Amino acid sequence: KATLRKQAVQTEEVAAAVAFLLSPRSSGINAQGLVIDAGMGINYFDNQLLQGPGHT
């Protein structure tokens, strides 16, 4: 199960993914979209996220 990390994605993480995609190691990857969002896309409606800090 993929879950939200509850921490924003770091610049270095995005840079590492881009470096990989630009490298010869990614030669087998074609026509794909890569979402680098620390899981935010799959847990958009998490009640804790919608309510913000301090709500129970």
Domain count, the chain: 1
Q: Is 39 exposed, middle or buried (0-12, 13-18, 19+ CB in 10 A)?
A: middle
- Asked whether residue 4 is assigned to any structural domain, the reply reads no
Say what the pLDDT of residue 21 is: 93
pLDDT, tens only, 5-56: 777 888 999 999 999 999 999 999 998 888 888 877 776 555 665 566 665 5
Say what the pLDDT of residue 51 is: 64
Entry pTM:
0.60
- Asked whether residue 42 is assigned to any structural domain, the reply reads yes
- Asked whether residue 6 is assigned to any structural domain, the reply reads no
Say what the pLDDT of residue 1 is: 53
C-alpha radius of gyration, the chain, whole number: 15
The amino acid occupying position 56 is: T
- Asked whether residue 35 is assigned to any structural domain, the reply reads yes
Say what the pLDDT of residue 48 is: 61
Q: Which residue has the tokens 């800090």?
A: 53
- Asked whether residue 3 is assigned to any structural domain, the reply reads no
Range of the domain at 32: 11-51
Say what the pLDDT of residue 38 is: 80
